[in-house]
Chains A and B, each alone.
Chain A
Amino acid sequence: MERVPVLKIGDILLVSIQIDMEDQVALQLQEDLAERIVATGVHGVIIDISALDIVDSFVGRTLATIASVSRVLDAETVVVGMRPAVAITLVELGLSLPGIRTALNVELGIAMLGSREDDGEPEDDEPDPVVVTES
């Protein structure tokens, strides 16, 4: 079974879904992410779905579950890069993805996560080193 890679970049886990996932692959991603959040202690997760040409109810539900589980584990999830045709279809399907934060692209997603920290506790001025590790 294929697996969707999870990258750690600074205080963020980045997931870029590049394949048409069978249901088991989506469930595996949900588990992998929960484990990586706990193992790394990150506070943000970005899921890039710009390569997905559809999001059906199963993938939609998986994204919603990932967002809820992350929140319980003190990490915020932003889904980025949804294609316009996918957004139109999702709404007509009846899936409004409640509780999921979205941004147009990875850059804006990162900014969204960053702004959460700004209005929280004060941060040191040192920027976090950017470390990319493959899972």
Chain B
Amino acid sequence: MNDESQRLPVVTDQDVVRVRQLVRTVAVAVKLSLVDQTKLVTAASELARNTLVYGGGGEVEVTRVHNERRGGIRIVFADRGPGIADLDLALTDGYTTGGGLGLGLSGARRLVDEFDIDTEPGKGTTITIVKWCR
């Protein structure tokens, strides 16, 4: 059983700030620990920026989720940009095509409990992450 989702566009730098703030608010509401809140907001910041910079903008959806044992947060980052041709390469620490540190994708994956990428060259990229309460 899942609650209603909240959606935000990711079209400007400021939208990335709004995504961080929304994720923080929901993370507090589901009672993630402070360290887990910080990890989730940081991962969301990385992925929202990628959506903006590489995906040419897109949308973020934040949802409170539950299973039999615990609650958590699911966040989906979706764009209709160029997609990622070589996923293994993109997920390598230090790989960047944009002059960054190349830590966004690989680092975000380490910071969350579930990480799933659906991408197709020319069609876009959708990344779904989940963080569960301990």
Contact = CB atoms under 8 A, between A and B. Distances in A.
Interface string B82-109: 0000000000010000001101101110
Contacts of B108: 93
A53 B103 contact: no
B118 interface: no
Given A22-B13, A92-B110, A95-B107, A53 B24 contact: yes
Nearest to B35: A85
Contacts of B103: 57, 93-95
A60 B35 contact: no
B49 A89 contact: no
B73 interface: no
Contact of B14 (A22, A54, A61, A93): A22
Interface residues on A, range: 20 to 34
B20 interface: yes
Contacts of B101: 57, 60-61, 95
Contacts of A94: 93, 103, 106-107, 110
A59 B18 CA distance: 16
B38 A61 contact: no
Nearest to A26: B13
B1 interface: no
A18 interface: no
Q: Secondary structure of the A side of the interface?
A: helix
Contacts, number: 71
Contacts of A60: 101
B39 interface: yes
Interface in A79-112: 83-86, 88-89, 92-95
B42 A58 contact: no
B45 interface: yes
Contacts of A95: 101, 103, 107
A89 B39 contact: yes
Contacts of B111: 89, 92-93
A98 to B, nearest CB: 11
A29 to B, nearest CB: 14
B21 interface: yes
22 contacts: A20-B17, A20-B20, A22-B14, A22-B16, A23-B13, A23-B49, A53-B24, A53-B38, A54-B45, A55-B42, A56-B42, A56-B46, A57-B46, A58-B49, A61-B101, A85-B35, A85-B38, A88-B39, A89-B39, A89-B42, A93-B111, A95-B107
User: Which 5 interchain pairs have the tightest Cβ spacing?
Assistant: A93-B107, A22-B13, A85-B38, A56-B45, A85-B35
